[in-house]
Amino acid sequence: MSAKDLDISVSYEQLEDLEEDFEDVELELLRQQAKLSKDLYAKREKVVAQIPNFWPLVFEQSPPEIDEYIQPTDSTLLMGALKSLSVERFELPEGDPRSLAITFEFSENEHFENTKLEKKFWWREAKDGWAGLVSEPVDIKWKSADKDLTGGALALVKKIYEDDKAGKAQEETEAKKKLRELLENTGIGGTSFFSFFGFRGRNITAEESREAVKESQEKRKARKEGKEVEVKEDEDEDEEDDDDEYELEIFPTADDLAVCIAEDLWPGAIKYFIQAQEQDALSDMDFESDDDEEMEEADGAEKPPQKKRKA
């Protein structure tokens, strides 16, 4: 039975308002959680700094939503050079708690000169109802072209961003041509984890977002007061424009990855580290078991089981 067949006295606008009420509660919970856990995260940072390879082992046990983006070459770099990770909801206490800053700190490595890479995501809203994270490309100083894990894509994204700021957003620049060609030839299936730093998202400025939020709040208030509110129909042209904005993304799902890091990997770091330790212990046990079997086969007789090494 469809909704049209039912005699419903509740409007979709009322349901939307109820969803927004729930969203307000969730945002307040995020604010309180960030406030209450701030000192704990600072304490954890001091403790784990004394544990060798803490963050590499955390990434080794990362959930599928993160692990699927880590290529073998990325894994080698992360395991060998990652020193620390931090997540900050940088617009708090006054701003939106969904805005994120994710900072990676690296030791000396063969790929790039940077010791820190910070990626900021701002929560923005548009007047067409869209809401989500937007960002700016981050430059990575690769030591040479053959050490660039993005194959030159990140540098092109950075150049396009600079061209757009210079008023060339509507022009088919040389950088755009090269990036299109690169994406057509390589696709995004084997995209490096470090392409994450090139994500931009929709081009929604802070001012446009403030206006959209204000307009939305005014409509919401009017509905609660029983006033009639004009509902705008979505236009196909806007949807096509949105697709164009994502056409040159080298990591289109970087916003999802950022949320997963902030809401899963970052708060669950100790859990993932312990899992890594347990996994290593199981691997050691398997290795010792294989050694025992080989010795038994060589001697042709069973020997008393050797004592297992403590994990």
* Predicted confidence (pLDDT) per residue in 154-196, tens digit: 999 999 999 999 999 999 999 999 999 998 887 555 789 999 9
Q: Where in the chain does DSSP place strands (E)? A: 82-88, 100-106, 116-125, 131-135
| Residue-level pLDDT at 304 | 38
152: left (phi over 0), alpha (psi -120 to 50) or beta: left
Query: For 64, which DSSP code?
Result: H
How many angstroms separate the CA atoms of 23 and 282, rounded? 43
290, 269 in Cβ contact below 8 A?
Answer: no
**What average pLDDT does the chain have?**
86
* Predicted confidence (pLDDT) per residue in 217-269, tens digit: 888 888 877 777 776 655 444 555 555 667 899 999 999 999 999 999 999 99
How many angstroms separate the CA atoms of 79 and 93, rounded? 34
Largest CA distance in the chain: 90
pLDDT at 199 over 80: yes
pLDDT band, residue 13 (cuts 50/70/90): confident
3-state helix, strand, coil in the chain (%, to 5): 55, 10, 35
Nearest CA-CA partner of 199 in 267, 100, 125? 100
pLDDT band, residue 302 (cuts 50/70/90): very low
Q: Which amino acid is at 265?
A: L
Residue 39, φ and ψ in degrees, nearest 5: -70, -35
How many angstroms separate the CA atoms of 82 and 76, rounded? 10
pLDDT at 274 over 70: yes
**How many residues are listed for the chain in this entry?**
311
Residue 154: both structure tokens together: 């990140």
